[in-house]
Structure 1
Amino acid sequence: MLCTLQIKSAKPRARGYKLADAGGLFVLVQPSGSKLWRYKFRIGRVEGLLALGSFPEVGLAEARAEHARSRKLVEQGIHPVHERKRQREALAIDYLNRDKGAFGAIYAQWDSATSVDLAAGTIRQRRREIKNDLLPKLKDRAITSITRLELTAILKEVERRAPEIARNLRNYLWGIFECAIDSGLLENNPVPPLRVLKKRKQKNHAALSPSQIGEFLGAMDFGVNELSTRIAMRLVMLTACRKVEATGAEWTEFDLKRGGWEIPAERMKAGHPHWVPLPRQAVALLTELRAIVPKGQKYLFPNRRDPNRPMAGRTLNALMDRLGFGDKGTPHGMRAAFSTHFNGRHANADVIERCLAHVPVNAVRAAYNRHAYLKERRAMLQQWADYLDLLHKKHGKHAVLPPVPPTVRRKTNSGTQRRRSRRSLRKAA
């Protein structure tokens, strides 16, 4: 067997040579003078070689101890080289779990990577839902310790309260755990399949009938004192835009002289800019609004509590509820009414879809055709605005406002007081 003095005294030669110890352990003396510990072994009929470090960094006693551990593995039929690789991978995973493997850390990484192309409203909604229902239970948990059974229980609990949020959370969880897989923390995604949640009952946005649209317009004449809210609702109706596109509109997007509204890509559902030709009625309403709002105001319809934010999305739904139309239609349903009207008259389907901002799937074609059917769209929206005026004139007189609660009735018990309140609102604006 070798001794330390022998190893120290060994001189390099023109070719490498071995200094044998015992049980397959030896020192390989290289022509460069380096002395390397090696263990030669055989498992079955396959020969293997394990590197144990270099002398003198690894001394004789340390090399023999490592050699003894490796021999025990060989006796069990375990390849020591493969076992060492497995241990290194396990250590790396332990490091990731300890420093980067908490659910909250992986969520932050996923959120940062996937928020780039999302609308601001979508990001806020996603973060709010995760903060409310996932982070309180999972934030500090090692992501490797979270089981499918546990995730199913969380989703089922949320589903009892809000089925749609539960479906959203499942989608978020799938992305977060896929991110963990890409980071080397997991091999399989534990998120349960969609079948654990009840099937969605698809419900279209309720749309007012033509006569109800006329009655609703008439009801707004007498039942809505807030000028900006009334104009926001009329803008949705006149342009067939989405509610959020109107409530978040900024003055810089409008060219009232040319009758155009350019909605930027970041505010559109499909992520493409959308040009809206404004009918004469919309231009008149916005001109009236522009004349009474303070200079420098960013939004057409600012939030009452914070003018640096747009009008709350629920405001227009609340208006319909207040006037007694909430169970008959929604602001989004105005788009369906527009589509039904022109499809029923066999109008050009491409023009209808362009007015509704339903762009082609091909992104290049969508960008190129941003102003496609310009004249046809302007003509169609003007026809729609004229049709709304006709419905207003024909059915508006039949509008019946819901009963006013007693506390409110005492404050507005006469048409004179209502008119005064409107005038004071305009002065304040």
Structure 2
Amino acid sequence: MPKLRLSKTVVDKIASPQAETIFWDEALSGFGLRVKTNGTKSYVIQYRTRSSGRSRRKTLGQHGPLLSFNEAKKLATGLLSDVLRGGDPVADAVTARTAPSIADLAEQYYEIHALPKKRKKGAANDRSMLDRLVLPRLGKQKVLEVCHRDIQTFHNSLKATPYQANRVLSLLSKMFELSISWGMRGENPAKGVEKFHEEKRHRWLSSDELSRLGAALDRHRNQKAANAIRLQLLTGARIGEVLSAQWADFDLDRGVWVKPSHHTKQKRTEHLPLAKAAVALLEKVHEAQRSGSNFVFPGRSKIKPLVDLKKFWRSLIADADIVDYRIHDNRHTHASQLVSSGMSLAIVGRLLGHTNPMTTQRYAHIADEPLRAAAEVMASKMNHR
């Protein structure tokens, strides 16, 4: 192969050869210019790896406006310096090209973690966030290339929906934690990204609203769904736990609901004492049920439970003339009634299945009402001396 002292002027003057030729630079060993018979000129480097002594050749790019001689020589100098330190630019390029993308990580996360480890609803929520938000924005990026700034910018772009933004951030953080365990990268770029402030809902029914809801339940033509809501109000359970409940979970003689761990948010078995009214409701439902289903509230097919009460709920609260009230708020109504009756926050927390005592603290101001009423007793005695 011919050797020249390459420069911009020399490169521009080299004519098309009879056969493809590489002109090696006399000044920088391993740096050359490949010229094809059609006149196309590309910069290359050639080296031997220090570990195996294997000869490698890498094309840096085509000579022209996007890659000048000076830029190519500077790039070659850097890469050949890496070789002296034990690097292998060709292997690095292959690794980078075949490295997993965020789309690859998302699929592994869903198949290996979400589906086997999370509840069905939780896995479905993750799938939805991945498909709607994460993959359109980050899917093509390599896992190794995503930095803290990328996650911060993505999170900020979801500011209009802060609750959803925080759920997406938690999802990404878990995905990157797993990517570290799976050897894809060394640190979590989502770590340290501050979540948006979330206002906890403090909505529960007043006595008048609760009375109107009860009347609307009695009037509704869908009594199967109405009974599901009644059981939720009587137990404070999550609606998913109510709808997935099976007759085998109940001991009506003892008045206990044993919630299986795979149905509870905390993934632990819970033993919930039932009020007499809840037991009576369940006995009534069981007596009227003729489908022979294992589920307390079966869907159209007896082998599956009811899964969606959205349409029913909208018509119900409209009939009861109640606004800004969700099905999940029935848990808050259940808790507020217990606390206002003098029940301790600790007991209420256990009934609701709270693992963190701070979760029950939202009802603390209601717990003060019985104490305040008691304090007024002495005041009334003094006023009637």
The TM-score range, normalised by the shorter chain, is 0.5 to 0.7
Given candidates 261, 264, 276, the residue that maps to 2:260 is 264
Change (3 A) 1:241 1:106: same
- Quote the offset at 1:83 in angstroms: 1.9
- Quote the offset at 1:236 in angstroms: 0.8
Distance in 2 of aligned mates of 1:130 and 1:292: 43
Distance in 2 of aligned mates of 1:354 and 1:175: 28
Q: How does 1:237-276 map to 2 (within 5 A)?
A: 237-276=233-272
Change (3 A) 1:282 1:344: closer
Change (3 A) 1:239 1:213: same
Given candidates 207, 210, 214, the residue that maps to 2:211 is 214
Distance in 2 of aligned mates of 1:154 and 1:343: 41
Distance in 2 of aligned mates of 1:147 and 1:250: 47
**Max Rg structure:** 1
Distance in 2 of aligned mates of 1:238 and 1:303: 22
Letter in 2 for 1:308: K
- Quote the offset at 1:148 in angstroms: 5.0
Distance in 1 of aligned mates of 2:235 and 2:94: 56
- Quote the offset at 1:96 in angstroms: 4.9
Change (3 A) 1:225 1:96: farther
> What RMSD over aligned residues (CA atoms) do the two structures have, in Å?
3.6
Distance in 1 of aligned mates of 2:250 and 2:134: 41
- Quote the offset at 1:95 in angstroms: 5.1
Change (3 A) 1:87 1:351: same
Deviations 1:297-342 (A, max 9, x none): 2322234589624331535642543324441543333333333333
**Any runs of at least 4 consecutive aligned residues in structure 1 with deviations exceeding 6 A, and if so which?**
50-53, 78-82
Letter in 2 for 1:127: R
Change (3 A) 1:187 1:315: same
Q: Does 1:322 align with 2:324?
A: no
8 Å CA contact retained: 1:276, 1:355: yes
8 Å CA contact retained: 2:82, 2:88: no
Letter in 1 for 2:295: Y
Q: Does 1:203 align with 2:200?
A: yes
8 Å CA contact retained: 1:107, 1:176: yes
- Quote the offset at 1:287 in angstroms: 2.2
Distance in 1 of aligned mates of 2:187 and 2:84: 23
8 Å CA contact retained: 2:294, 2:302: no
- Superposition TM-score, scaled by structure 2 size: 0.62
Aligned to 2:338: 342
8 Å CA contact retained: 1:208, 1:328: no
- Quote the offset at 1:153 in angstroms: 4.8
Q: How does 1:77-88 map to 2 (within 5 A)?
A: 83-84=85-86, 86-87=87-88
Letter in 1 for 2:132: N
- Quote the offset at 1:112 in angstroms: 4.0
- Quote the offset at 1:234 in angstroms: 0.6
8 Å CA contact retained: 1:304, 1:311: no
SS in 2 for 1:270: coil
Aligned to 2:348: 352
- Quote the offset at 1:227 in angstroms: 1.1
Percent identity between the two aligned chains: 20
Aligned to 1:104: 103
Change (3 A) 1:52 1:220: closer
- Quote the offset at 1:228 in angstroms: 0.5
Aligned to 2:142: 142
Deviations 1:335-359 (A, max 9, x none): 3333333333433444332222224
- Quote the offset at 1:174 in angstroms: 2.4
Distance in 2 of aligned mates of 1:360 and 1:192: 23
Q: RCO greater where, 1 or 2, for CA within 8 Å and sep 6 or more?
A: 1
- Superposition TM-score, scaled by structure 1 size: 0.56
Deviations 1:178-199 (A, max 9, x none): 333444443454448534x6x3
Distance in 1 of aligned mates of 2:291 and 2:342: 44
8 Å CA contact retained: 2:215, 2:320: no
Change (3 A) 1:300 1:242: same
- Quote the offset at 1:156 in angstroms: 4.0
Q: How does 1:82-231 map to 2 (within 5 A)?
A: 83-84=85-86, 86-87=87-88, 91=91, 94=93, 96-115=95-114, 116-146=116-146, 150-160=150-160, 162-191=161-190, 193-195=192-194, 199-222=196-219, 224-231=220-227
Distance in 2 of aligned mates of 1:211 and 1:349: 24
Q: How does 1:377-392 map to 2 (within 5 A)?
A: none
Distance in 1 of aligned mates of 2:356 and 2:179: 34
Change (3 A) 1:181 1:209: same
8 Å CA contact retained: 1:151, 1:191: yes
SS in 2 for 1:261: strand
Q: How does 1:283-294 map to 2 (within 5 A)?
A: 283-294=279-290
Aligned to 1:379: none
Change (3 A) 1:117 1:340: same
- Quote the offset at 1:217 in angstroms: 0.9
8 Å CA contact retained: 1:133, 1:158: no
Change (3 A) 1:351 1:166: closer
8 Å CA contact retained: 1:207, 1:330: no
SS in 1 for 2:144: helix
- Quote the offset at 1:241 in angstroms: 1.5
Distance in 1 of aligned mates of 2:82 and 2:93: 21
8 Å CA contact retained: 1:265, 1:271: yes
Letter in 1 for 2:251: D
